[in-house]
Amino acid sequence: MNAYLEAFLNAFSANANWTWRSIIFDVPWYNNYFWGLILISLLVWGLEILFPWRKHQSIFRQDFWLDGFYIFFNFFIFTIAISGFYKFLEVFFNDLGMTASSLSLLDIGLWPNWSQLLVFFVLLDFFQWFTHVLLHKFPFLWQFHKIHHSVKEMGFAAHFRYHWMENIFYKPLKTLGVMLLGGFEPQQAFIVHFVAIAIGHLNHANVKVTWGPLKYLFNNPVMHLYHHSYVLPEGKYGVNFGISLSLCDYLFRTNYIPEDSGTIPLGFPGDQKVPKGFLKQLWYGFGKNQSN
Ligand SMILES: [Zn+2]
Ligand SMILES: [Zn+2]
């Protein structure tokens, strides 16, 4: 049991220490997610200010600071808080004889770097797309996902407004993806992570980017705005589930972009019941019946 406690505490302090070292520039620049995240946020915010899609929208839109705080909460504070628990599980599964490479289907370690990254990016994106579909399909998951859909005015920081339970829901399939690829992230995985953050920020930004013919490959603000639409097509529990890529939505016919004015009402029927403050949102979703 001591080994578990030790692993738990070590992972917790290592994670907290890594974040602190990132803040004081004591880690390689390409692994510095703290300042990297701030830089990407400022760049995308700059695009919103220079080329706004909805011209009337304030630079400090509704819930700007709440969502700004969510960026740091979901990316750092929650990651530190949960790290010990994840390490605990890793040691537990190791004790059962299951390691990160137990399910390895492809040994991509010997492939050229660019193809490792591509496979890693596409596979992880697919697993996240699928998880996102589940978040909309099952009411007990939707309860938590409602926090993300409570955004009423869209801007880049809305990317990170989501309930901390979502981190946990996404984890199993993301881990499965890494395990299928041999149990390790490619060396340059930071490129994939930064690209994913930038695309996710853009998807929520008040800028009109559609990528031309590449829209069948990459998700974009026009497509994702309809994911947040208050009104959904009859009989659907969601549309445009894509994370970084739009490919899955086109493949599985969950794509829906009837127009591109950018002015549609956002949210969902009953969204006025979602609490406005961060602390109340922390515990939202656990109550018994909160449906709509
Ligand atoms: Zn959603
Ligand atoms: Zn979104």
Nearest to residue 20, comparing CAs of 68, 77, 71?
77
How far apart CA 30 and CA 107 sit, in angstroms, is: 25
How far apart CA 112 and CA 11 sit, in angstroms, is: 31
Check: CB of residue 195 under 8 Å from CB of residue 229. no
Per-residue model confidence as pLDDT tens digits over 86-102: 888 888 888 888 777 77
- Nearest ligand to the CA of 151 is 2
Give the tokens for residue 82.
């949960």
Give the tokens for residue 276.
């406005």
Q: What are phi and psi of 245, to 5 degrees?
A: -105, 150
Distance, CA 227 to ligand 2 centroid (Å)?
A: 7
Distance, CA 200 to ligand 1 centroid (Å)?
A: 13
Distance, CA 241 to ligand 1 centroid (Å)?
A: 6
Distance, CA 172 to ligand 2 centroid (Å)?
A: 20
Check: CB of residue 133 under 8 Å from CB of residue 254. yes
How far apart CA 188 and CA 200 sit, in angstroms, is: 19
- Nearest ligand to the CA of 136 is 1
Is the pTM higher than 0.75? The answer reads yes
Q: Tell me the pLDDT of the chain (292 aa) as tens digits.
A: 688 888 888 888 898 999 999 999 999 999 999 999 999 999 999 999 999 999 999 999 999 999 999 999 998 999 888 888 888 888 888 888 877 777 777 777 778 888 888 998 999 999 999 999 999 999 999 999 999 999 999 999 999 999 999 999 998 888 888 888 877 777 788 999 999 999 999 999 999 999 999 999 999 999 999 999 999 999 999 999 999 999 999 999 999 999 999 999 999 999 999 999 999 999 999 976 555 4
How far apart CA 187 and CA 269 sit, in angstroms, is: 44
Q: Which residues of 128-158 are buried (b: 16+ CB within 10 A; e: fewer)?
A: bbebbbebbeeeebbbbbbbbbbbbebbbbb
- Nearest ligand to the CA of 221 is 2
Helix (H, G, I), strand (E, B) or coil at 245: strand
How far apart CA 227 and CA 275 sit, in angstroms, is: 21
Q: Report which DSSP code applies to 74.
A: I
Per-residue model confidence as pLDDT tens digits over 253-274: 999 999 999 999 999 999 999 9
Distance, CA 158 to ligand 2 centroid (Å)?
A: 7
